Amino acid sequence: MNRSVLVTGGNRGLGLTIARTFADAGDRVAVTHRGSGAPAGLLGVKCDVTDGEQVRTAIAEVKDAHGPVEVLVSNAGITDDALLMRMREDQFTRVIDTNLTGAYRVARATVTDMVRLRRGRMIFVSSASGVKGLAGQANYAASKAGLIGLARSLAHELASREITANVIAPGLLDTELTGALNDDQREKLLADVPIGRTARLEEVAATALWLASARAAVVTGQVISVDGGGSLGH
């Protein structure tokens, strides 16, 4: 593969694993960051997805360096947890603006070139919280659930142009944070996960790579949960 790929929030964590997976497959990969730069082998473009002008500038930089974006992985996101009775309105709106409206901004900035090319892949990284909800995450869960409606609407709009839009909903991930949990904490978190373990970042990245491949050309408007069965029934 040798496509122009953009991963928002791709300079660390899950986003970085996704970016490296595409790069290892031969794609030209750019990642957004908010000032920390990008690891070697990836094109870094400074961009805060809450700023429409920064988004447009970043997309233009990617286009100049790698060509029009053919695969968009909208991954940038934040959390700001609190129970509803303690959640300030700015906590709610800031998370929505970053996670949901930010995804709209990058999709809007890349869709015109995809339509002209008559091909493209949009992949939105949601969360198990967006599928089944989670106490203390009303803002985060709402933003991640919104990505499902966004993707499914775009699937209807763009299918005739050979552009797909899908959602990946990871559950608890195998990160440094979960690695620091004691046995009791881990047991409680995994109690509702049938497979009995966290998902690996590489497993989520492999799902993104497949959704962007020719083998998934007829898969659109779908939510793929990568969570060991933790969202079964939702």
52-66 helix and 102-117 helix, angle to the nearest 10 degrees: 40
In a domain, 232, yes or no: no
In a domain, 138, yes or no: yes
Q: Is 161 exposed, middle or buried (0-12, 13-18, 19+ CB in 10 A)?
A: middle
Q: Is the pLDDT of residue 225 over 70?
A: yes
- Other Cβ atoms within 10 Å of 233 Cβ, number: 5
In a domain, 230, yes or no: no
Quote the pTM value. 0.96
Q: Is the pLDDT of residue 134 over 60?
A: yes
pLDDT more than 70, % of the chain: 97
| DSSP conformational letter for 200 | P
Catalytic residue, chosen from 140, 146, 224, 231, is 140
Cα separation of 80 and 97, whole Å? 12
Q: Is 140 a catalytic residue?
A: yes
In a domain, 231, yes or no: no
- Other Cβ atoms within 10 Å of 81 Cβ, number: 15
Q: Is the pLDDT of residue 179 over 80?
A: no
For β-strands 43-46 and 223-226, DSSP reports them as unpaired
| CATH code: domain of residue 130 | 3.40.50.720
Query: Total structural domains in the chain?
Result: 1
In a domain, 161, yes or no: yes
Cα separation of 19 and 50, whole Å? 21
Lookup: tokens for 44: 């870094």
In a domain, 229, yes or no: no
Cα separation of 41 and 45, whole Å? 13
Confidence band of 190 (pLDDT split at 50, 70, 90): confident
Question: Whose structure tokens read 């988004």?
Answer: 55
Q: Rounded mean pLDDT of 178-182?
A: 67
pLDDT in tens, 67-86: 999 999 999 999 999 999 99
In a domain, 65, yes or no: yes
Query: What range defines the domain where residue 130 resides?
Result: 4-224
Question: Whose structure tokens read 């129970």?
Answer: 83
